[in-house]
Amino acid sequence: MKMQDPAKHFFRCTDRERAIFEAGIKLGTVYHQYVGVPVNLSNVTSLENAIKESVKVQPFVEDAEVRIDPDIVKKRQGIYKYITLSGDMLRVHIRIRYGAESVDAYLKYVDEMDYPLMYIGGS
């Protein structure tokens, strides 16, 4: 089913550029909405699913995968057995389709940059 886009006339760009724009919005939303959420080993899977499902309902999202590194959660949990989600724990892949164009976008912590990078392209 092809989605109609009532906002299309506001954009002066190619379908690929629009798909990339939409990917940036989705990844930014994931990062800024969920970083800081309490997490422990008992809720990693449910939090991954909640993030994934919240992304998938947004316009133009074909698919989404979310992974929270359980090793980091286990290593960092303190006396109260939970920590807050941080960018270095997240690995997100989304596929956006706009018109005839499809892009893969990622959020991944890059050790050598010490930064949770959002980017288009390879894994």
In the 8-state DSSP scheme, what is residue 112?
G
Asked whether the beta carbons of 23 and 82 are under 8 A apart, the reply is no
pLDDT for the residue numbered 3: 66
Q: pLDDT of 52-84, one tens digit each? A: 999 999 999 999 999 999 999 999 988 888 999
pLDDT for the residue numbered 67: 98
Helix axes 44-56, 15-34, angle to 10 degrees: 150
- Topology of 13-120 in CATH? Pantoate--beta-alanine Ligase; Chain: A,domain 2 (3.30.1300)
Place of tokens 């892009």: 103
Predicted confidence band of residue 117 (pLDDT cuts 50, 70, 90): very high
> Mean pLDDT over residues 96-108, rounded?
96
* Residue 113 φ/ψ region, left for φ over 0, alpha for ψ in the -120 to 50 degree band, beta for the rest: alpha
Strand partners, 64: 94
Q: pLDDT of 19-38, one tens digit each? A: 999 999 999 999 999 999 99
pLDDT at 107 over 60: yes
| pLDDT above 90 as % of the chain | 90
pLDDT for the residue numbered 122: 67
